[in-house]
Structure 1
């Protein structure tokens, strides 16, 4: 008698077996149709069908095959297992990075997230340009919480907020604010943003990541141990967006507004 482990091993050791079972879980098919759907040979498809019929995962009537309720159950769960394994592979360096340690985000929420990795200078520039593109396309709201400013996108934020009237709320560490205000261009941009009535908050403790909410998309990143950029996560999943909004609000509650009348004293 086979064990559950035997059945799992049988199924996952062959992509063709999984493809056949998933195809039959979706609809009934002939052997020739399964060959075209899976790119498997006639002999391979025939052997798989016979083996799955023995396990009562598949049944047939005439030339048409379909998955049994047991087969459909397995097809759904094995696909979830494969998707989870793919997510684990994709997020391996994210989990090992400080970005994940600094958040309470559920990894399952990131299954469809886009991960951009700074493999070389071109990738770093692409990451910055991507954030800039998202800012340029913003039409509803901009929110940020983070431990550092990205000066190359600050002018875009200023234009969106000052010229187009898009609401903006940000929370930055005191160190990040001090660093920004030491630059005349950044100081000017910040003063203009505050002059519109939008708010920038100062958080006294460390924020080991930067998180931006741009309309319905979140972008999150962090620096590595040497101060260089780490992986950047981009997602428009509702669960991730709700988490990001709650995170922003939590840091905002623990921060104090930056007073535009005191900028000169920084």
Structure 2
């Protein structure tokens, strides 16, 4: 273990070593090409290449250098570690609120996610991010344990210009129908040919909205207070969202205007 950690430290303490090893893993490189990639002096490159040859991570070939099989293995593994740590840093402030047990995909697919959190000047920034995505979309699909009045307003305003489908928990629907204004707005939505809402009796642990090709997670704490908006266009996350929506759809019943009368 200690020797392995020492090798990781050897690479981690020098961005130039990482760049050189990744370059060599891609193919043969001359010292001039490595100098251009790193900005390092020839003396520094000489030490790096010597260290790599000592570890059998690199070999001289045709006037240049290339990674060995183990060198490529190390480069790939270290890149994976860097990617994991980059994602962890992005999610660090919101991971406590993410329903990760329901997110059946590798969190590395959130590496390029847009994360919006509340600030003192913009406490509603996460919700505003979601609303902006919904306003601009031609198609919106959602499954959630909650639907706030502003999201419902956007859906109602876009009727006829936007396809909308959602599966909501019984609790989410009850919260909307408890308010007369929201009940009437929801009735407008379910009566529109371009919209549909279904009700699931079971729990939906995530609040997911797919606006065109963007998958958005609206993340709440245990009190129901929105803590972040996390969205991505990653294909694997979109596929997961489509599968989950279909699961909830087949295990739900349509909400009709008649259900909202009275």
What TM-score does the superposition give when structure 1 sets the normalisation length? Answer: 0.84
Residue 199 (structure 2) aligns with: 202
Change (3 A) 1:51 1:103: closer
Deviation at residue 121 of structure 1 after TM alignment:
5.0
Residue 155 (structure 1) aligns with: 153
Find the residue that maps to 1:130 and give its secondary structure: helix
Change (3 A) 1:56 1:101: closer
- Distance in 2, Cα, partners of 1:236 & 1:108: 13
Deviation at residue 260 of structure 1 after TM alignment:
0.7
Residue 144 (structure 2) aligns with: 146
- Distance in 2, Cα, partners of 1:100 & 1:53: 42
- Distance in 1, Cα, partners of 2:251 & 2:83: 38
Residue 213 (structure 2) aligns with: 216
- Distance in 1, Cα, partners of 2:259 & 2:49: 76
Residue 256 (structure 1) aligns with: 253
- Distance in 1, Cα, partners of 2:216 & 2:168: 16
- Of residues 202-211 and 56-65 in structure 1, the stretch that sits farther from structure 2 once superposed is 56-65
Q: Does 1:131 align with 2:127?
A: no
Change (3 A) 1:49 1:106: closer
Deviation at residue 240 of structure 1 after TM alignment:
0.9
Change (3 A) 1:232 1:100: farther
Residue 20 (structure 1) aligns with: 20
- Distance in 2, Cα, partners of 1:61 & 1:100: 47
Find the residue that maps to 1:200 and give its secondary structure: strand
Change (3 A) 1:121 1:105: farther
Residue 75 (structure 1) aligns with: 75
Deviation at residue 83 of structure 1 after TM alignment:
0.8
Q: How does 1:32-181 map to 2 (within 5 A)?
A: 32-60=32-60, 64-122=64-122, 124-139=123-138, 141-160=139-158, 162-164=159-161, 166-181=162-177
Q: Does 1:187 align with 2:183?
A: yes
Contact 1:127–1:232 under 8 Å retained in 2: yes
Find the residue that maps to 2:239 and give its secondary structure: helix
- Distance in 1, Cα, partners of 2:124 & 2:5: 47
Deviation at residue 209 of structure 1 after TM alignment:
2.9
Find the residue that maps to 2:36 and give its secondary structure: helix
Residue 238 (structure 1) aligns with: 235
Deviation at residue 180 of structure 1 after TM alignment:
1.7
- Distance in 2, Cα, partners of 1:183 & 1:7: 62
C-alpha offsets along residues 133-176 of structure 1, whole Å, 9 cap, x if unaligned? 2212222x32111121132232222233x231x33221122222
Q: How many residues align?
A: 260
Find the residue that maps to 1:234 and give its secondary structure: strand
Contact 2:28–2:61 under 8 Å retained in 1: no
C-alpha offsets along residues 27-68 of structure 1, whole Å, 9 cap, x if unaligned? 443434423322334332221111112222223357633333
How big is the alpha-carbon RMSD for the aligned residues of Structure 1 and Structure 2? 2.6
- Distance in 1, Cα, partners of 2:48 & 2:117: 40
